[in-house]
Amino acid sequence: MSSSARLVQYGSSDEEDGDSSGSGSGDARSKDTLTSIGPARASSASTAAFARPSAKRRKLSGFVSSTPSPSPSLSTPLAATASSSETKTLAQASAQKTLKPGQIEGDWLCHAFVRVPLCEDVRTCLQSIVKDLVDACNTTEGGGGGEIIQLTVEGIDADAPVQARGTCDGSDNASAAPERRALSDFHISLTRPILVRPHEREEFRRIIRDTLGDHSRFNIHFAKLITLVNDDRSRLFFALEAGMGWEGLHTLTTALNKPLSSAFRAKAYYTEARYHASFASVALPTRSDDSADATARRWERIAGDIDKAHARTLSRCPPFAADCVGIRVGSHVTELFLQPGQSQTVTR
């Protein structure tokens, strides 16, 4: 992710080497045989020639499950695709399935993170910020272009996230009442999302435990509200950026970069890291990069105004101890508790 601008494929062949030329030469030989053997044997030769199976192999169509699977998420192993052309086939056959480059059937999505406990002060501040963001969704400035903006709020309380929609003319969309569902953990990521095979799951856990097990806990304090765009530029996230504690977080991510790259060819964490806990997001327009950039800049400006309005309240929120590293493998989370001189793990 970059601030306010940005957050195996199998090749298949229609035929083996030489099949194409072999198939063509086979037809030619059949014709030569029929013209050279004479009338008496033409019938039997024709039967024998055309009974021979063709050497050309048919290309199999992409596999499509009869039961659509849910979109990949942190809680489920990822769906798969064999090639980019098959991705289109799967997408057309199942709207619920979201496929990304590099995904293979059976892959597990993993990442490591620092848990962020929500004290009452931080919770109250976040709720006020979210209210302002929801209000911005229902204004011309927030919506823009007549599009319905969807705000997904995460990690605020047990009843979140809330989806709020608004239109550019400021009127509420009465048919889209706020929806509440189970929240995801409020956290600060220490790694990018990493895909591992089933037999590599324990190896991922072991690397995190062995690498971070000797680290001591430290304090973190949120400095300000920021916006970040994910890598594929499909969503813009609202997040609280860490001020105090940046060095401790950087130490953890730097320690993980090399072993994770060696074991899984994982990308290193972002060079210009902005450690943050995201709590809301909006979808960016897909019409063009220009429209996505314009929307991102508009929300960056809105977030800047909201940050100024809540800066004093946020600064008064107490710091929290970064003493728990979460190790997520699919739906399973292992907790590594960092303490001076020792660590312990708890799996749930």
Residue 45, domain extent: 19-51
Closest CA to 116 of 184, 193, 204, 215: 184
Q: Residue 72: inside a domain, yes or no?
A: no
Q: Residue 75: inside a domain, yes or no?
A: no
Examine the domain organization and report whether 134 and 256 are in the same domain: yes
Q: Residue 184: inside a domain, yes or no?
A: yes
Examine the domain organization and report whether 28 and 167 are in the same domain: no
Examine the domain organization and report whether 32 and 157 are in the same domain: no
Examine the domain organization and report whether 264 and 196 are in the same domain: yes
CA 159 vs CA 23, 184, 285, 333, 340: distances in Å: 64, 11, 28, 21, 35
User: Total domain count for the chain?
Assistant: 2
Examine the domain organization and report whether 35 and 144 are in the same domain: no
Q: Residue 103: inside a domain, yes or no?
A: no
- Give the residues across from 111 on adjacent strands: 328
Examine the domain organization and report whether 229 and 156 are in the same domain: yes
Examine the domain organization and report whether 285 and 202 are in the same domain: yes
Examine the domain organization and report whether 182 and 306 are in the same domain: yes
Q: What is the DSSP letter of 73?
A: B
Examine the domain organization and report whether 257 and 337 are in the same domain: yes
Give the CATH number for residue 157.
Answer: 3.90.1140.10
Examine the domain organization and report whether 176 and 38 are in the same domain: no
Examine the domain organization and report whether 144 and 279 are in the same domain: yes
Query: How many whole angstroms separate alpha carbon 308 and alpha carbon 310?
Result: 6
Query: How many whole angstroms separate alpha carbon 148 and alpha carbon 170?
Result: 11
Examine the domain organization and report whether 23 and 122 are in the same domain: no
User: Alpha helices, DSSP H only, in the chain?
Assistant: 19-36, 39-51, 84-93, 120-137, 140-143, 201-212, 246-264, 289-315
Per-position pLDDT tens, the chain of length 348: 444 434 333 333 343 344 434 444 444 444 444 344 444 444 444 444 445 555 555 443 333 333 333 333 333 343 333 333 433 443 344 434 455 556 678 899 999 999 999 889 999 999 999 999 988 888 755 554 445 566 777 656 434 444 444 332 333 443 333 333 333 468 999 999 999 999 999 999 999 999 999 999 999 999 999 999 999 899 999 999 999 999 999 999 999 999 999 999 999 999 899 999 999 999 998 878 888 999 999 999 999 999 999 999 999 999 999 999 999 999 899 999 997 744 444 455
Query: How many whole angstroms separate alpha carbon 275 and alpha carbon 245?
Result: 9
Q: Residue 161: inside a domain, yes or no?
A: yes
